[in-house]
Structure 1
C-alpha cells in the first residue's frame, strides 16, 4: 500500500518580465506568477505534485492541518483523499487543488498518464489562445493576427468596460479582421467580479442579452460568464434566449453538487470546470459524464499555472466527443508567457502551431525542475511521520496524543485500510 510518509509545501513567486494587468482584477498590475506547491511522498519514494494559485502567503500554517489529516494514509485511495479534503474544507479552506497530487502518484505507480488510467488515448489537442488583458480594438486585432501567425485558429477576447458599446466595438473589430479565419470567443468575467483595487462593471440580464445579440450577429463561438456565478435562474434564461452558446462554471468551489444542479437547470451550454477549484480530478470526471448525458459541451478553464494547465489537459483528453474543439491556452505576451506560466516545469507545455501533443510520461505528465523550485520557491511546511508525532505531542500533550494514536490504530481509517 503506497502510504503517505511526508508532505511538503512551497510558496512560489515567479517574476514576470513586465506587469500583467488581468482583466478580471481592474487596476491590479500583477508582477509575479504566485502559487502554492504541494509535494506528497510515499513510503517507497513516489512523489505526487500539485499547485494552487495564491495572492500571497495566505496558506501559511495550512500544513499543520494537512499533515495530521493525510500522513499514513493510502495515497491512491482517491475517495478517502477526497473525503479528507472535504473535511478540511468545513472550516472554509477549499482544497480541490491538492487532490491531483494523488492522481499523479497513482499514474506513476501504474506507469501510465492519468488520462490513460481514465480510458483515453494519446493524441493531439487543439488550443485556443486565451488573452488576459483589456486592449483597444486595433491593439486587439494586432494581437489576434499575431496568434494566427503562430498557428492558433481560435482566440478568446476579454471585455470589461462600464460602457457596453466599448465591449461590442472591440468584438466587432476583431470579428471583421479575423472572423473569417479564426474562431472567436469572449470572456466577460462576471461570474467572480473582483473590486479589490478598482471598481468593475456589474452586468444584469438585460445587458447580457443585448451583448449576446450583438455577438450572434458577429459570429462569436461562445460567451463566457456574462452573469454572476450564483445567478442561476438568470443564467438559464440567458442560455435559452441566446443564439450564442453561454459558457461558464470555472471557479464553482461547491464542486460536483453545485455543477450538477447547474447542469440540471440548464445554466450553461458549455461547462468549464477547472479541477483545481471545482472538486479535483475525481469530481470533474463526474461533471464530464453529466455533460455527456445532458448533451452539453465541456472544455476546462486552465488559467492558473503550468501545473493547473497540466491537470486540466489530462481531463480534456478524457472529455471525448463532448469536449469542445479547443482547449484554453493562457497566453498574453510579453507579460504572461509560456516560460513564466510553466517556470517550474522541466519541459514547458509549449504549443506547436496551435496544438499540443498529450504527454506520455506517467502521472500528470510533467517533471518539476528542482533548480527552478529552489530559485523561485520557499518551503514553508514539511512533515513526516516523526514530525507528525512531535507535532501531536507539542499541540495536544502526551495524554491526548496517545489517546488519538490509540484510537486511530483501533478504530480509524488507517486500521481499516490496512486490514
Structure 2
C-alpha cells in the first residue's frame, strides 16, 4: 500500500483534536503509522473491523519486554511485570483468579456501596467550592474510583489514605510523579497483603478479592506466588482508576451538549445507553496498549515485520461510519448498534469494564439529580496535552 497516512504525536492538532486527526487517517486507509520522536513508528489500525480483529489475533502479543520502565529501585522490579504485560496460559491463569470479582453481577452488588461513596462526595463538594466554583475532577471524579476499588479489593481502611494519594498520581498520567511514587506503591501493596493476611474477614463479613487471593494461595501455593499476589494488588487498585477520566470527560461533554443533557435529565432510564455512548464518543483511551507481531504479517497491503508494534486507534474505530450511524454526533438515546472498543477487545478486554459502567452511571445519575443547576465554571476545563489519553487536568463547575 503506497498511501499510508502518518500521524505525528507531536503535532498540536493531533494532540488537541485526536478524533479529527485519526478520523482523517481512517478515511484514507484502514492502517496508519504513528510517529513519536525517539521511537520506531507504530502501526495503528484505524477502522473498527480491523482494530477488533487485531486485538483478538494471537499473532499480535503483549510481551514482557515491550514497555519502557521508569527508573525504580532494584527491589521493585519483580513487581513491575503486571497481568497486562502477559499473554497465553500465564495471563489466563491470573485473569481467572481475579475475574470473579469483576463480573457484571458482582459490579451490581457493589452499587449500594458506590452510591454511598457518591453521595458522601457530593455532600462534601460545597466545602471545596470557592465563590461557588469547584473542581469536579479533583473532588469527585478522581477520589470515587479509588474508594470503590479499595472496597472491592479489600484494602484495609488504615491503608486507604496512601492509596488515595496514589490514585491522584495515576489520574494525572504516568509521569515523573508516578515513577517517584512506585516504591511507595509497592510497599503499600505489600502492607495491604500483610494486613489482610493477619486479619481476614470473619463471621458474616463479606469476603473481598484480597482475602480470596490469599485463600487461593494458601490452598494451592503453586497457582499464585507472593510476588504475583503483591503485583496483582497494586495493579488492580491503580488500574481501577480509569473511570475518573471517563466520568470527567462525560460531565464536560454533557455540559457542552445541552440537548443531550436535557434528554438525560428528562429520562434517567437512558443512563445505561448514555454510559455506552459517552464511552464510545469521549472515552479516555485513544490508542490501545501496543501488541507485537510474532511473525511477518500483511495487513491491508502493509508489510508488518516480526517484532513490529501494532495498536488500535480507539479514537478512530469508535467513530467509524462503517459501523456507527452518524458517528461524530453524540446521542444518549442511541441504540447499541455495535460494540465500541472503549474497553478494548479480546483476551485483554478491560477486566473492570462492568465496574466502570456502574460507577459512571451512578456518578452521572447522582450529579444530575442532586445538582440541577450544574454548569461549566467561568474559567473552563483544562485538558492534558497527552497523545495517548483523552483526559482533563481540571473541571471547574458551578453548583
TM-score, length-scaled by structure 1: 0.28
Task: From the two aligned structures, give the one with the greater strand fraction.
Answer: 1
Task: From the two aligned structures, give the one with the greater helix fraction.
Answer: 2
Higher RCO, 1 or 2 (CA under 8 Å, sep at least 6)?
2
TM-score, length-scaled by structure 2: 0.29
